[in-house]
A and B are shown apart, each in its own frame.
Chain A
Amino acid sequence: MRTALSVGIVAVFLAATVVLGLLAARGRSRRGLAEWSVGGRSMGVALTWVLMAGETYTSFSYLGAAGWSYTHGISALYVVAYLAVGMAVSYVVAPMLWTYARTHDLVNVSDMVAHRFRAPWLGAVVAVLATVCMLPYIQLQITGLGVVVTSVSYGAIGLGLAYLIAFVVSEAFVLASGLRGSAWVSVLKDSLVVLTFGIVLVYVPVHFFGGFGGLLHKLTAQKAAWLTLPGPHTGVYGLGWFISTAVLNGVVYPIFPTQVAGFLGARGPQVLRRNAIILPFYQVLLFVPVLLGMAALFVVPNLGDSDLALFAMIRDALPAPVLGLVGAAGALSSIVPMAVFMLTIGTLWSRSVLGLHPRTAPRQRQLAQLVTLLAGALALGMTYVFPNVLVRLSVVSYEGIAQLLPIVLIALLWRRMSIAGAVAGLAVGLALVSIMVFGGHDPWHGVNAGLIALAANIAVTVAVSALRPANAPDDRLASLTEEPDHIEETALPQ
């Protein structure tokens, strides 16, 4: 009975997700890549806000953050720190990227690189690199949903079936309604996340510890090591790691391809500035799983898989309908980011790889949808067949994408940056990050390997560009201090 109840609630919300996503496509143009990929660049403050919140609040927040704090303590809050840094950088960078993309009708980072350097092949290289780095994120969401659904069904639904559900639901709405559908599903998801975190935040301390005071007192008395850096285990997640990771992830945040997709969906640059100011409020919610992860140390000690910390703790304590609601929130927290990752990969490939040929160019939207389907299918297949390949790759994902910072961002601000400089820097950055991460040297002397590789990347880019400078014309550069008047209202040529 309790299984039917909690699974039934999750099923209702998943069905509602598909319906809501499909409804979002009503009345919108069925032609044109920009309408599907970036919502026709028409989303206001509220929709952009929920979409951005939806993207940053992934299954990591539900499973990973609690699991991390269960094992390593408050270093899990590096996420809050890097998002705050990222929002500050976004205030400056996001409107600039939006204006450049809007002026030249560009839909993602690979597209922008190809335009800046007048080199379609370089856009294709960026698209392929970004895809390799982003596929593991899709798998993380698939396996995250698997853990949630298996937990809330009390084991009745196996992992294999849960993975398939994640794939079907997210593809169903993203293929039909693109970024706009993801934003509308985020509305449902964020409402559920706020509601369920509120419930769990009150219920867990009261049920297990007699209130907040009891939980906090027990934590400070018995688990003090978890409450400061570097945490209970010697070494890795100390001050140097926390600071360097927050800096790296923060500066890279505004050029991460899925974030850029969200930026470009906005109606105008002011929407993005407004969002950069108010979105950090949402990060307060991230303290909840971190606190609950540490609470789980007392309730379910010695877990083999720390990602289970939150659900193992609440599974038998919460009434089945409430567990169903928490499960639905957790499931949607996987599905929304997964959909945006697939859509972004689809957009990168359709514009910068497959749609380059004059014969395929008119069909870019269909190509994007096809690649979106294939990317999801590939991640699903690998989850079943070679689960460890993408897991290994995922450790280098963010640090790999970080190496795109000079070619995407610095290039738009520095006239003399040349293709030779950009490619040399990117190659050095990628090589260095791979050697350090796969060689087991991340962090290196307590510093995030991605940041070290990015420093080398920028140094090489600058040195080579100084030796072989370019002279980019004005229309290939962006401005931090100027914005054309009323750019939102001017129609793009079709």
Chain B
Amino acid sequence: MSGNRKSLLWLLGPPTLYLVALPFTNRLTPVLFGVPFSVLWLLFATLCTPLFGWLAARRDPLWTKHRRDRS
């Protein structure tokens, strides 16, 4: 047994940003840097997605086991 993989809950981050938040972010204003908020939010979510992946992996026993094996 490789221990628990609770850190995988971080993987709920992308669906939360893209989908759960969508009813609140589907709006034109505020316009920042000339970009409508709806587009800016989806861009923000896209840039955050790898970050959530990294947070999930960091404490994932299967990920760290492989890292240990390589070092």
Contacts and interface: CB of A to CB of B under 8 A. Distances in A.
Interface string A277-301: 1101101100100000000000000
A227 B36 contact: yes
Contacts of B1: 481-482
Interface stretch (A212-220, A323-331, A401-409): A212-220
Given A77-B42, A216-B34, A224 B18 contact: no
Contacts of B46: 80, 84, 280, 283-284, 287
A277 B57 contact: yes
Interface residues of B, number: 42
24 contacts: A74-B39, A81-B45, A84-B18, A87-B14, A91-B11, A91-B53, A91-B56, A212-B34, A216-B35, A219-B36, A228-B38, A239-B23, A239-B26, A242-B19, A273-B57, A277-B53, A278-B53, A281-B47, A281-B50, A284-B46, A284-B47, A287-B39, A481-B1, A486-B69
Contacts of A239: 22-23, 26
A101 interface: no
Interface in A197-255: 212-213, 216-217, 219-220, 224, 227-229, 239, 242-243, 246-247, 250
A486 B36 CA distance: 49
Nearest to A89: B11
Given A74-B38, A220-B28, A284-B47, A243 B63 contact: no
A243 B36 contact: no
A485 B66 CA distance: 9
Interface of B: 1-5, 8, 11-15, 18-19, 22-23, 26-28, 31, 34-36, 38-39, 42-43, 45-47, 49-50, 52-54, 56-57, 60, 62-63, 65-66, 69
Nearest to A77: B42
Given A247-B15, A270-B63, A280 B31 contact: no
B50 A280 contact: yes
Contacts of B15: 84-85, 88, 246-247, 250
Contacts of A89: 11
Contact of A273 (B2, B63, B69): B63
A229 B26 CA distance: 7
- The residue among B4, B19, B54 with the most chain A CB atoms within 10 A of its own CB is B19
B18 A81 contact: yes
A92 interface: yes
Given A227-B36, A277-B50, A81 B19 contact: yes
A283 B44 CA distance: 12
DSSP class of B's interface residues: helix, strand, loop or mixed?
A: helix
B69 to A, nearest CB: 8
A87 B26 contact: no
B50 A278 contact: yes
Interface in A429-462: none
Nearest to A268: B66
A186 B50 CA distance: 22
Interface size classification for chain A: 35 or more
Interface string A114-141: 0000000000000000000000000000
A287 B43 contact: yes
A276 B57 CA distance: 10
Contacts of B2: 481-483
Nearest to B62: A483
A156 interface: no
B35 A243 contact: no
B18 A85 contact: yes
A91 B8 contact: yes
Contacts of A77: 39, 42
B49 A87 contact: yes
A178 interface: no
A480 interface: yes
A21 interface: no
A287 to B, nearest CB: 6
A485 B14 CA distance: 30
Contacts of B50: 277-278, 280-281
A477 to B, nearest CB: 15
B62 A213 contact: no
Contact of B53 (A88, A213, A227, A229): A88
Contacts of B8: 91-92
